[in-house]
Structure formats: structure tokens, C-alpha cells
Amino acid sequence: MPKTIALLTGGGDCPGLNAVIRAATRRSLDRGHRVVGVLQGWRGLVEGRYTPLEMGSISGLLPRGGTILRTSRTNPFKQEGGVDAVRRNLEQFDALIAIGGEDTLGVANRLHAEFGAPIVGVPKTIDNDLSGTDATFGFDTAVQIGTDAIDRLHTTAESHNRVMVVEVMGRHAGWIAMHSGLAGGADVILIPEFPLTVERTAQLVQRRHGRGKDFSIVVVSEGWPLTHEEGASRDLTTQTAELDAFGHVRLGGIGQQLADHLERITGFETRVTTLGHVQRGGTPTAYDRVLATRYGLLAADLVDGGQHGTMAALRGTEVVPVPLAEGVRELKTVPREFYALAEAFFG
């Protein structure tokens, strides 16, 4: 029986979204199903905005960054009449593939659990902080961009005898800082899970310089709380006080604050680079293209088999279905043992 399958991408964009759209569409069309793209995440389902997805629409998508379906941070549960509109609009589809992170999949899980909505999830986020899967696509690309930046900053830091602070994304979890910092040979890595103090960071930089090095690289996650020895402040550094529809503040700016403290304490000239959205833009790495393709194919299979309320996940080397609820159960944070590996190279 041919089905009508809808696809949406929600939350922050991420390299590999188009590769998922391509794979899920291709497989579904090959089975004789009709595929419809929902525009701008949950907003498109509230407002009823769609575009047909055909063979021609998915041509050239594999290496393309961003999402041809566009995205938004709309939360139907926070809008007057939002959930009713989504449920009404969903009736015209046999199933929905929702591609997103904790927020988008959180909505998908609630719609499935509370109303039996026929939804299959695909885990996406450069932050890699979703439970239930060993990896999200987009993370590898973000790490590669961070590593390339750290490599480049090394040569200019060395030429000028400077400390370079590199601020990377990572709202609740320090995965990007850890992987790009380890791969790039950072001298200190600061993450939300194990917040070293400013003073300890300065000591580590001073120790390194005492051992004959004239420059240092400090990588900091945007979600690292500025932490002092005396415990005066453990606040997140934000760009505005406003919260989005999922209750998140807009982070950013911790790199500059840290650099100011480090320069004051150590006396070493310090500069800041904030990678920001560069980490989310552009073409996905080969790893992310393959992972996204595998997720897209499995999502299409799950929808075809009527296995709603599931999510495609990576377990070891296998891509398998897991309950959607498991994917959004908790955030996956950096474990102590992994941080200890990085500490071996601090200072």
C-alpha cells in the first residue's frame, strides 16, 4: 500500500540534514510512497506549509550543508492551539520522519506518547549530546572544523608568543571541545561537566610556559560556567537574557571573559577566536554523510514497517532502531575517564 510520508528538520541546522532527507526520500520513492517535506520544522506542521519531495528535489543534496526544508525552534506545546494544529495536519500523512536534537525529538516523543502520532526520529546535533545513540551526525564535521582552526591558531600563537582561547559550541556537553581539543593538541580544555577554575587554568598555562613553551591553546565550550577559586561566580555567559521556545538562553562570549582573566593573571598576551556557527555550516565530512545516509535509510524502513515511536541510532558499528523515548531520556555528557585523557596534556 503506497503511503504518504512527511519529513521535517527542526532545531539548529547541522551538516548532514540534507543527506538524511535524500536517503529517506530516495528509499521511500523507490517503494512507491509519496514524500512531502514540511517547511521550517514544527512551525510548518502548525501552519500547514509543505513542499513535495521528488527525485529531482533530492539531486545534489549529499554534500550540501544546511537543510533544504529550512528549520525553526518552534515548540507546538508552547503555542496556543499548536498541538491541535499539528495533530490535525498530521492526519493527511501516514507517518512523519522528524530529524532533530533533544528539543525536536522531545516534541516528537510527546506527540507519539500522548496522542499515538505515527513518528520516527533521526538524531541530529553537532553537540553529540543525545542519549540512546553513540553518535549524532554533524558532530564529526564540527570537530573537524574545530581541529582545523586549532591547527591554524597554533602557528600564529607560536609566532607571537600568545595564549589563544578558542570558544567552541557545546551547550550542555563538552564533546566538541574534547574531541577538537584532543585532536588539535590543546593545552587546557574547559567543559561544562568538569569546570576547572580560571585560576587553575592560569596556573596550567604558567606551568607550560615555565617548561619553555612561549604559547598556549585553551579550548573552552560555550557552556563552561565561568568558575573562580573563591566560588564567586559560576554563571553561564549569554548573549541575551531571552529564552527560546524550549527554555534555552543564547550562549556566547565566555572566550573573551576567560581571555581577559588569563591575561590579567598570567601577564601573557591573549587573543580569542569564537568559532560559532562556522562549526555548523558547509559540507558534511565523509563520516557524517555516511552516518546520515544510514539513518535516513533506516528511518524510511521503520516508517515502511509501521514501527512508529522509534529512532534510528548508532550502537557500536550498527545502525538500529531504539525507542524514541530512549533518545530523549537524558543528555549524554562527557565521562570523567575521558576528561582524564585530555588532562594528561594540560599545562
Residues of this chain that bind ligand F6P (CB under 6 A): 12, 101, 125-127, 169-171, 222, 250-251, 280
- Concerning whether 30 is annotated as a catalytic residue, the answer is no
We find the least distance from the C-beta atom of residue 171 to ligand F6P, in angstroms, to be 4
CB neighbours of 15 closer than 8 A, spacing ≥ 6? Answer: 65, 126, 137, 138, 141, 142, 280, 281, 282, 283, 284, 285, 288
**Which of these is catalytic: 94, 103, 127, 187?**
127
**Rounded (5°) CA angle 181-283-99:** 90
Residue that has been written with the C-alpha cell 510520508 in this structure: 5
In the bound state with ligand F6P, the residue whose beta carbon lies nearer, of 18 and 136, is 136
- Give the Cα separation of 256 and 264 in Å (integer): 12
- Give the Cα separation of 188 and 224 in Å (integer): 13
In the bound state with ligand F6P, the residue whose beta carbon lies nearer, of 76 and 170, is 170
SS3 208: helix
We find the least distance from the C-beta atom of residue 27 to ligand F6P, in angstroms, to be 27
**Rounded (5°) CA angle 58-116-76:** 65
**What residue is closest to ligand F6P based on CB?**
169
DSSP letter string, 175-193: HHHHHHHHHHT-SEEE-SS
In the bound state with ligand F6P, the residue whose beta carbon lies nearer, of 126 and 204, is 126
- Give the Cα separation of 138 and 10 in Å (integer): 14
Cα 276 versus chain centre, distance: 12
In the bound state with ligand F6P, the residue whose beta carbon lies nearer, of 78 and 228, is 78
In the bound state with ligand F6P, the residue whose beta carbon lies nearer, of 24 and 176, is 176
We find the least distance from the C-beta atom of residue 298 to ligand F6P, in angstroms, to be 23
User: Do 187 and 205 contact (CB within 8 A), yes or no?
Assistant: yes
We find the least distance from the C-beta atom of residue 249 to ligand F6P, in angstroms, to be 9
We find the least distance from the C-beta atom of residue 240 to ligand F6P, in angstroms, to be 11
Active-site residues, by number, are: 127
